[in-house]
Amino acid sequence: MDTNHRRVPQASSSATSTSDGHGRRRVVVCDCGVVTPLRTSWTDENPGRRFYGCGLYQGRNRRCGFFQWHDREFNQREKKVIAWLLTLVEGLKKKEKFWFGCTGICCVVIVVLLMVIGLMYRKL
């Protein structure tokens, strides 16, 4: 078993959870007896919605098939706002990549120009 997964003694029910009553993270245990990580869905149907899945989940191979939503289902307006924000973030990432590339090119051009100027100054 992966050392990143913490086994919890099995309770009488297949899934247990605890909360401190102050909105802090619950501990949810899957049917394997492993603490489930809190993940985020980025599908079109549930963008940004958090869920618990089997603690031994890797790719699409869940060991026990445990799944439980952490958040309530978002309404259509919330889904549209999240989709719009994700589109904005992607646009900003593209602009950042573009400007980072431009900055690198500008630095190379400046260095080459300084070298040319240095060579011209030496010849004088």
The predicted-structure confidence for 67-103, as pLDDT tens digits, reads as follows 899 989 999 999 999 989 999 999 999 888 888 777 8
pLDDT at 78: 92
pLDDT at 3: 42
Number of CB atoms found within 10 A of residue 33's CB? 18
pLDDT at 59: 58
pLDDT at 1: 43
Please give the Cα distance from 29 to 36 (Å, whole number).
6
Number of CB atoms found within 10 A of residue 17's CB? 13
Residues of the chain with pLDDT under 70: 1-25, 57-63, 124
**Domain regions of the chain by residue span:** 1-74, 76-124
- Positive or negative torsion for Cα 113, 115, 119, 121: positive
pLDDT at 49: 92
Give the pTM. 0.53
pLDDT at 96: 84
Using an 8 Å Cβ cutoff, are 28 and 61 in contact? no
Q: Give which of 72, 62, 91 is closest to 83, Cα–Cα.
A: 91
Q: Tell me the DSSP string of 59-123.
A: TTB-SS--EEESSPPPPHHHHHHHHHHHHHHHHHHHHHHHHHHHHHHHHHHHHHHHHHHHHHHHH
Q: What mean pLDDT, rounded, does the chain reach?
A: 77
